Amino acid sequence: MPETPNGIVAGWLEQFDEALRTKDTDAALELFDEESYWRDFVSFTWNLKTMEGKDSIRRMLDATLDDVGPHNWALAEDATGDAASTEAWVTFETAQARGCAHLRLRNGKCWTLLTTMQELKGFEEKKGPNREQGVAHRIEKGRRSWLELKEEQAAKLGHEEQPYTVIIGGGQGGIGLGARLRRLGVPTIIIEKNARPGDSWRNRYKSLHLHDPVWYDHLPYLKFPDDWPVFAAKDKIGDWLEYYTRIMELNYWSSTECTNARWNEDRSEWEVSVIRDGEPVTLRPKQLVFALGVSGYPNVPKFDGAETFLGEQYHSSKHPGGGDWTGKKAVVIGSNNSAHDICADLWEHGADVTMVQRSSTHIARSESLMDLALGDLYSEKALANGVTTEKADLLFASLPYRILPEAQIPVYEEMARRDADFYSQLEAAGFDLDFGVDGSGLFLKYLRRGSGYYIDVGASQLIIDGRVKLANGQVGKITGNAVVLDDGTELEADAIIYATGYGSMNGWLADLVSPEVADTVGKCWGFGSDTPKDPGPWEGELRNMWKPTNVDNLWIHGGNLHQSRHYSSYLALQLKARMEGLPTPVYELQPSHHTR
């Protein structure tokens, strides 16, 4: 009688558990396919690290088994599949933590393994049956209320008492990470230059809505209500973030700007200089997190003659939206998400709009993206099939970046077939389309470059219809009243909007810490040699994101709402472990200046 999926996985786990307990690396490797991938989030490596192939897995196990002490591998629920292809959710423990894993077997051998730390033993979140009492039901004189205690603690932190962690940046990333750290009991201050939580969304152009669907965008712990719109308006998101900071009781310093940060070697702490409500304050945390978004400073190209332009010119990040543009000519340089959104906003408000496309762009219709790329993970259908947000995040992470393209290519091939008429109309309008360098579409473009795509929510039809004009080519120069392309085409303009992207996140470090620290940390985002025009060692993970950098006690946090939610968990656990003085030997960071 053929083995059941449960039997296949249980047998594999029993052998794997025994091999790791006895530190028999050879026996462990016998359980892996020749083509195999082990992606670890903190549990074995105190890092975000992907091991590719048996040799890489051997090196990791030889370096970590003595410290990690993995054991108690068990099925979390029924496995699926058959003898040729089996898939399972697994729980496991290490000496310090409890973890969740996802396993794929091919003919009984491991093809992919994702291991993730979920909680530190002895430092679990106080939730469920372990939640705090909240109040002692007794009568006593001088007893202070919850509000009084909360206000007292807030007044002390940053003055009489120092936070363990300071997060620079109070947008979605900083807020979500702050919530994780509070639940873990890590004293944290989030500093934000805007006046209110959520202003980083409110201050953007008026028509902005999320392009990602609601199921993909929940914050940690507190999901959006089930009547929340699929695509929320930016002010609605801003309000949610503001209320979230209150509900989660975060130490959120708004109207506060960081002017400088330096590491004090003698005291082994950061000195973070901030201006809060006009007054200078020095914070002295042990850990410093930069959560300033997915990118660095706005990238405004320098074009000959730009200084002679007589109209308005500004980066897309400064576009206010709305207003009366009747009779005015606007040229938007760029063809990414923000370029399309701004072109649509300008057209809606009466402008004569021209988009300048300087390089090919991937377009994915929102409906097709939700159905084909996200539907199995983030949708009502997925929820009905038992795929919770937490499961979806882990499933999304279970395919290492090396093999993610081959999983994505069929999705975008089907998208190209389904939307063939749409794409042919765009190309007929002169739009230069691509599906990524290897046909793997939007997500890989986002991971590799963070740009070069548009999720179509209507602006593409404006281009097809000619309501938004299209010009292709490089900008040669700018005159007093026009953008001139390399081929001599002149585009008259009353306003020029540069939808030209952003620099690397380490640009913030150069100004706030030092150029030397920025260079030591290196580039953020992307993952190495598979990135076009960006050669470098293949890292298998996004560079410097959510994991130890080459500067001790300095971290980078960011990404879209999904990434900020998911990866904040692993960053929070790394910070908690360090606060509690647990050993955190980081596996394989090169080049590295780590002392632990």
**Mean model confidence pLDDT for the chain:** 93
Please give the Cα distance from 464 to 462 (Å, whole number): 6
pLDDT of amino acid 2 = 61
- Residue 364, Cβ density class (10 Å: 0-12 exposed, 13-18 middle, ≥19 buried): buried
Evaluate if residue 1 carries a pLDDT over 50. Answer: no
Mean pLDDT for the stretch of residues 533-546:
78
Give 144-186 pLDDT, tens digit per residue.
888 888 888 888 888 889 999 999 999 999 999 999 999 999 9
Evaluate if residue 519 carries a pLDDT over 80. Answer: yes
Instruction: Grade residue 292 by pLDDT with cuts at 50, 70 and 90.
Output: confident
Strand partners, 295: none
* CATH class of the domain comprising 5-120: alpha beta
Evaluate if residue 423 carries a pLDDT over 60. Answer: yes
Nearest Cα neighbor of 286 from 110, 161, 130 is 161
Mean pLDDT for the stretch of residues 575-579:
98
Start-to-end CA span in the chain (Å):
52
Coil, strand or helix at 237: helix
Coil, strand or helix at 354: strand
CB neighbour burial string for 254-280, b if at least 16 within 10 angstroms, e if fewer: bebebeebebeeeeebbebebeeeeee
Please give the Cα distance from 275 to 396 (Å, whole number): 40
Instruction: Please say whether the dihedral angle defined by the alpha carbons of residues 68, 74, 78 and 81, taken in this order, is positive or negative.
Output: positive
Mean pLDDT for the stretch of residues 303-323:
94
Please give the Cα distance from 244 to 221 (Å, whole number): 10
Strand partners, 157: 161
CB 193 within 8 A of CB 236: no
Evaluate if residue 4 carries a pLDDT over 60. Answer: yes
pLDDT of amino acid 501 = 86
Evaluate if residue 476 carries a pLDDT over 50. Answer: yes
Homologous superfamily assigned to 306-498: FAD/NAD(P)-binding domain (3.50.50.60)
CATH code for the structural domain at 153-297+504-580: 3.50.50.60
- Whether 153-297+504-580 and 5-120 are alike in CATH topology: the answer is no
Mean pLDDT for the stretch of residues 218-240:
95
Evaluate if residue 593 carries a pLDDT over 50. Answer: no
433 DSSP 8-state letter: B
CB 518 within 8 A of CB 507: yes
Evaluate if residue 120 carries a pLDDT over 50. Answer: yes
What pTM did the predictor assign?
0.94
Please give the Cα distance from 461 to 210 (Å, whole number): 19
Evaluate if residue 435 carries a pLDDT over 90. Answer: yes
pLDDT of amino acid 457 = 92
Taking phi over 0 as left and psi of -120 to 50 as alpha, with beta for the rest, 465 belongs to: alpha
pLDDT of amino acid 45 = 97
Please give the Cα distance from 356 to 475 (Å, whole number): 8
CB 29 within 8 A of CB 57: yes
pLDDT of amino acid 114 = 98
Nearest Cα neighbor of 354 from 205, 491, 498, 207 is 491
Mean pLDDT for the stretch of residues 91-105:
98
Instruction: Grade residue 427 by pLDDT with cuts at 50, 70 and 90.
Output: very high
* Sequential DSSP letters for 4-59: PHHHHHHHHHHHHHHHHHTT-HHHHHTTEEEEEEEEEESTTTSSEEEEESHHHHHH
The pair of three-digit structure tokens given for residue 109, joined into one six-digit string: 């051998």
Give 436-454 pLDDT, tens digit per residue.
999 999 999 999 888 899 9
Residue tagged 């959510």 (tokens): 546
Give 5-20 pLDDT, tens digit per residue.
999 999 999 999 999 9
Q: So where are the chain's domains?
A: 5-120, 153-297+504-580, 306-498
Determine the length of the chain: 596
Mean pLDDT for the stretch of residues 123-148:
84
Q: Which amino acid makes up residue 87?
A: E
CB 187 within 8 A of CB 157: yes
Mean pLDDT for the stretch of residues 272-294:
93
* Sequential DSSP letters for 156-205: HBTTTB--SEEEE--SHHHHHHHHHHHHTT--EEEE-SSSSTTHHHHTS-
Mean pLDDT for the stretch of residues 267-293:
95
pLDDT of amino acid 591 = 43
Evaluate if residue 235 carries a pLDDT over 90. Answer: yes
CB neighbour burial string for 469-506, b if at least 16 within 10 angstroms, e if fewer: bbbbeebbebbeebbbbeeeeebebbbbbbbbbbebbb
